[in-house]
Amino acid sequence: MKILVDADSCPRPTREVVLRAVRRTGVGAFFVANRPIPGISGEGVVMELCATREGAADDRMVALGCPGDVAVTRDLPLACRLVKGSIWVIDDRGRVYTQENIREHCSRRNFMFGLAEKGLIGERIRTYGRRELKAFADSLDRILSQLIREHTRSVPSG
């Protein structure tokens, strides 16, 4: 089990929450980006640099992912690809994407994007503050705790 982070678009406070979770749980993390991100280091932490071509980091996250991993991204098309691979996906606001809800989220995104393209709605600038960070941290802790419990149960004692 590992945590995959779409580091190019991940806010610094969210990256810091992931790094604390890695230290606390011992679960490894891959921060995947097209450019170096400062402050990504520590035991069990890998900064994975990808080519600068469009979609390279997304492709690398999909290639690195295995069923039961956790991914952090705000990119819904990437989230859809990861969920198809049985990977848990959380956005930086704590929304958890699953097989049951990913289509609805993508549909809503595409609808809103279409409205914006036609000039029917303005661009929304959404803030990212303590409330959003707490929701993310709570979701990450909940999923990691569940996966660690499941992993502990499945490992034979000896």
What kind and span of H or E run contains 7? none
For residue 131, the SS3 value is helix
Question: So what's the pLDDT on residue 115?
Answer: 65
Structure token pair of residue 54? 């469009």
Question: So what's the pLDDT on residue 145?
Answer: 94
What is the gyration radius of the CA atoms in the chain, in angstroms? 16
Question: So what's the pLDDT on residue 113?
Answer: 67
Q: Reply yes or no on whether the pLDDT at 1 is more than 60.
A: yes
Measured between alpha carbons, how far is 40 from 48 in angstroms, rounded to an integer? Answer: 10
Q: State the residue range of the domain holding 14.
A: 2-154
**Stated pTM of the model:** 0.83
Q: How confident is the model at residue 104 (pLDDT cuts 50, 70, 90)?
A: confident
Tell me if 112 sits within 8 A of 104, measured CB to CB.
no
Tell me if 80 sits within 8 A of 113, measured CB to CB.
no
Q: What is the pLDDT of residues 55-103, one digit of tens each?
A: 899 999 999 999 999 999 999 889 999 999 999 999 999 999 988 777 7
**CATH number where 115 lies:** 3.40.50
Q: Reply yes or no on whether the pLDDT at 109 is more than 90.
A: no
For residue 123, the SS3 value is coil
Domains in the chain, number:
1
